[in-house]
Amino acid sequence: MTNSSELETVFLTRYSHGAGCGCKISPEILDTILSNVHSIPGSYPGLLVGNAERDDAAVMDLGDGTAIISTTDFFMPIVDDPFTFGKIASANAISDIYAMGGSPLMAIAILGWPVNVLSPEVAGEVIRGAQEICREAGIPLAGGHSIDSPEPIFGLAVTGRVAVDHIKKNGGARPGDLLFLTKPLGIGILSTAQKKGILEASHESMNVSWMQRLNTVGERLGKIKGVHAMTDVTGFGLAGHLIEMCRASETTAVIRFQDIPLIDPEVLKYIENGCIPGGTNRNYSSYGKDVKLAHESFKTIMCDPQTSGGLLIAVDPEDRNLIEMLLSSENLNAMPIGHMKIKGAFAIEVV
């Protein structure tokens, strides 16, 4: 936090119409945007992961057993404090590198700022937060680009590296694989409660803590052969990102709703009080036809847009103990939330 009275009283979320990954374009609209964007097979033989895969990042083979990972992510404020906003946006962007099983090398900042409304000192606090997270990840914030924009926007373009044999895609899951989710859900719901002015201070601190936590465990997971597929859960919610995994793997996922980790049990009470993000309904309208719910009430959690969410992992059952020990050692959720089965009529079944 800053000592300046001006910076202490700024409320960034008042200057944007969206918040965090909840302001992502819906999956349905994104499909339309990308409908005429096609990769030409063989045009770039070194491109191991490109736009055709709808994965977390692009990957280019360097020809020496290693590959470069490239990604970008940015959004509008999900918290009021500029320093914290910079940290969350940066952790979220770097997550894509870890989701591919790699390690980050460096980052470049992306800043859109309403210069006639918010002072450059406030923007400086956002950058300072980004530097803090980059230092935590062991990489430099090496440069960036900025524009004058109507709303504050911040994020990073991140470059990483990975051994070709350790690349984890969102495809590759197999029937029988166990599904793990490393971070709890509820970020979108709690953020909406904050906007409504009813979020308890303890829940706010938990929400922020999870959002600014790096998914560094992804690099270690990338080295485990039994991890067949991996992605991170962000604005499309657990259901949206799991559908992408199921489609890429040609499988169906069975999720046990009672085993889904929540930031706090009080998340369900906030739902009862109407704290449902707009992105939740946009998500469900985009892909709800592919999800079979045992109870309609499951929709809000399954479709809750996450910002800097956890890693979703499909694991060979033989490696269950290894994965559980690794996640437990990192104080992450170490209980499977479901499994993959042979492809059926729905991409996801929530029981």
- The answer to whether 334 and 328 are in contact (CB under 8 A) is yes
Instruction: Using DSSP, state whether 338 is helix, strand or coil.
Output: strand
- The answer to whether 215 and 99 are in contact (CB under 8 A) is yes
- C-alpha 302/C-alpha 350 separation (Å) is 9
The two three-digit tokens of residue 245, written as one number = 């995994």
* Tens place of pLDDT per residue across the chain (351 aa): 444 444 557 778 877 765 544 555 666 676 676 667 666 556 788 999 987 778 889 999 999 999 999 999 999 999 999 999 999 999 999 999 999 999 999 999 999 999 999 999 999 999 999 999 999 999 999 999 999 999 999 999 999 999 999 999 999 999 999 999 999 999 999 999 988 889 999 999 999 999 999 999 999 999 999 999 999 999 999 999 999 999 999 999 999 999 999 999 999 999 999 999 989 999 999 999 999 999 999 999 999 999 999 999 999 999 999 999 999 999 999 999 999 999 999 999 999
Among 298, 320, 135, 301, residue whose Cα is nearest residue 224: 320
pTM, rounded to two decimals: 0.92
Q: How far apart are the first and last CA of the chain?
A: 43
262 DSSP assignment:
B
23 annotated active-site: no
Number of CB atoms found within 10 A of residue 244's CB: 23
The two three-digit tokens of residue 32, written as one number = 């339309």
Instruction: Using DSSP, state whether 118 is helix, strand or coil.
Output: coil
Q: In this structure, what are the phi and psi dihedrals at residue 158, rounded to the nearest 5 degrees?
A: -125, 135
Instruction: Using DSSP, state whether 147 is helix, strand or coil.
Output: strand
Q: What is the CA radius of gyration of the chain?
A: 19
- The answer to whether 250 and 314 are in contact (CB under 8 A) is no
Q: How many helices (H) and strands (E) does the chain have?
A: 12, 13
The two three-digit tokens of residue 314, written as one number = 């499909």
In whole angstroms, how far apart are CA 224 and each of 155, 167, 175, 323, 332? 30, 10, 18, 9, 17
Q: Per residue in 50-104, pLDDT tens?
A: 877 788 899 999 999 999 999 999 999 999 999 999 999 999 999 999 999 999 9
Instruction: Using DSSP, state whether 48 is helix, strand or coil.
Output: strand
Q: What is the dihedral of CA 269, 275, 279, 285, to 10 degrees?
A: 70
Handedness of CA 230, 95, 221, 102 (dihedral sign): positive
Report the side by side order of strands in the sheet with 58-61.
Answer: 47-49, 58-61, 66-75, 153-163, 103-113, 141-148
Q: Which residues pair with 253 in a beta bridge?
A: 340, 348
- The answer to whether 212 and 323 are in contact (CB under 8 A) is no
Among 21, 23, 275, 303, the active-site one is 21
